[in-house]
Structure 1
Amino acid sequence: MPTSTVRFTNMQDLFDAINSTTGDFLAVTGLSRHFTESACEREKRRRKFRVRRYNSTCQILFITILADLYEELHAWIFTTSCDQLVRSGRERSWRSIGLATRRVEQGHPGGDGGEGDPTGGPHPERGNKGAWPTLVIEAGHSESLGELHYDMRWWFSTSDHQVKIVLLAEYDHTRSVIILEMWEGEAQTHGTIQQTAALQPILQQSIAIAQNTTTNPVSYNVTRGALIPSFRLLLIQDPGPGEADFVFSVPDLEDYGAMVWRQV
């Protein structure tokens, strides 16, 4: 599905464009850094959209439309992560940060900023107002995987790698497949010194989920195994006795695929 692009004229025309967009992603060009963010904040509660990213240099606003397929792509992943925390007795060690906006310079309206899909981080380590999450999930189905890669790099670089894991979830309409990618910040060593500026995001896992309609009932094929986010990176500490990395098993991912396809 193609990405929709419109040029900004006024706030009402922008909201009309949001209402008429059939995909989950809208790029709005020609927006000065002084556009009416407060109006967007009021309207997005009513019209089911969110401001995904604002690039003040290019004057482009990226908007996500909150359709059922889009929501299904990310909601199960975050909910299942929270369930694993509960089962391990760690629910009070986690803070769901949600859709709070994070900026290149916090407290600087009109500058570069962005919202993730569900985000979260350890409590109390990331419990302060404005703290960066350790986990960000970004989803899309009309937004290309390349555009999601841009989002991923923005989170790592803008947070100065305080964000530790970015999970991407895309439904590819062309190939009828779900792509899950897990990216982590990785240190590039120069001599004996590792610098934050030298950190580069590394693709740790790429998983494909395809629907198999030749079986009765319909089944789901998961390629490249379970999804395993790092406990250490999510909670910024090593796992204790009886604790281990999070695991989204192949059967879990098959169930996830079934839920996503109900919304396609």
Structure 2
Amino acid sequence: MASITSRPPPPPPVSPSAASTSVSALSASTMPTSVESKSENDPQTVRFTNVQDLFDVINSTTGDFLTVLNVTPSHFTEIERGREKRHRKFRFRRYSSNSQILIITIPTDLHEALHLGLYEGYRDQLVKNNKKRSWKSIGTATFRQQGHPRGDGGEGDSTGGPKPERVGAGKWPTLVIEAGDSETLGELHNDMRWWFRTSNHQVKIVILTKFDHQQHHILIEKWEEEISHGLLLYCSRVVFSVKRQPITITRDKTINLISYNVTRGALVLGFRFLFLRDPGPQEGDFILSIQDLQLYAEVWAEVRD
């Protein structure tokens, strides 16, 4: 584990879309599993001592992900104020006052390209389907867990929801896109579960996108939730996070012009989950085609291996 040099302290039904693929994976239920289990031996983990030292570590971090231990609620407030005062652009992925763990997103070029490329592709579909005025992009706004006024919360990469249903203070998005470069796929799964659980299941779709440097491909996962009844004797209602679509994009350099191969088809975003109602005439699911995903794969230009 890295260290910081010490200084004096200064609604709708949740059935899957008809156009979605079948369930490909079923996680454990969306019970708390996230930041409490973070290993202290992770090289992207530091202990908090003071704000300036933390900012120095962020400045020297080459990845897009940093875990900070021993962050009390008062420390978190100091970090928030320091970020605002210094106009820093890093994001608070998640903070838990119980575990005193803060997870920070550092927006590298690759990280931003991974989530913005997908979100902008969806925005293009909104314009094409004349739904732009019915949608609000929420971006990286901070969302707080109800009943935790001491600072517990998180900030997404790209988020949005329908108008007027999800406009206003305290309204959660229906769509969240989270990207990962140095962040592991396991941590991205924790992010996904956090959004579903902490929003009290108001978030309906979480898309995870990760560049895997070992396998040298882009992995996209679309997650939704599903309710099962009577699975456990002591619980009549269990909510599961379900991976509806795993999509892998690889680069083919065997020909003179670089091309991209997309497995498992187009990315389908269900209308009911996005807009919290059934589609009307000339309305339907939003589809990022294989060609759209091949254009998205040009984020490869930001990769520095």
TM-score normalised by the shorter chain: which range applies?
Answer: over 0.9
- Sequence identity, in percent? 53
Q: Which of 55, 61, 65 is matched with 2:102 structurally?
A: 61
- Segments of 4+ moved more than 6 angstroms: none
**Could you say if the C-alpha distance between residues 128 and 47 of structure 1 is closer, same or farther in structure 2, counting changes exceeding 3 Å?**
closer
1:116 aligns with 2:159: no
1:255 aligns with 2:279: no
Question: Any conservation in 2 of the 1:3–1:26 contact (CA below 8 Å)?
Answer: no
Paired AA for residue 230 in structure 2:
H
Q: Deviations over 1:57-103 (max 9, x none)?
A: 21110001111000000001111212211221111111111111112
1:177 aligns with 2:217: yes
RMSD: 1.9
Q: Deviations over 1:114-160 (max 9, x none)?
A: 11111110110111211010001110110000000000001001111
- For residues 75 and 96 of structure 1, the distance between their equivalents in structure 2, rounded to whole angstroms, comes to 12
1:165 aligns with 2:205: yes
What is the TM-score of this pair, normalised by structure 2? 0.80
Q: Which of 172, 188, 197 is matched with 2:228 structurally?
A: 188
Paired AA for residue 118 in structure 1:
S
What is the TM-score of this pair, normalised by structure 1? 0.92
The Cα of 1:38 is off from its aligned counterpart by: 5.3
Unaligned runs of 5+ in 1: none
**Could you say if the C-alpha distance between residues 131 and 29 of structure 1 is closer, same or farther in structure 2, counting changes exceeding 3 Å?**
same
Question: Any conservation in 2 of the 1:6–1:29 contact (CA below 8 Å)?
Answer: yes
The Cα of 1:197 is off from its aligned counterpart by: 5.4
Question: Any conservation in 2 of the 1:231–1:238 contact (CA below 8 Å)?
Answer: yes
Higher RCO (C-alpha 8 Å, min separation 6): 2
Q: Which of 54, 59, 68 is matched with 1:28 structurally?
A: 68
Unaligned runs of 5+ in 2: 1-41
How many pairs does the alignment contain? 258
Question: Any conservation in 2 of the 1:3–1:143 contact (CA below 8 Å)?
Answer: no
Q: Which of 114, 128, 132 is matched with 2:172 structurally?
A: 132
Question: Any conservation in 2 of the 1:3–1:27 contact (CA below 8 Å)?
Answer: no
- For residues 220 and 236 of structure 2, the distance between their equivalents in structure 1, rounded to whole angstroms, comes to 26
Q: Which residue of 1 aligns with 2:113?
A: 72
Structure number with greater Rg is: 2
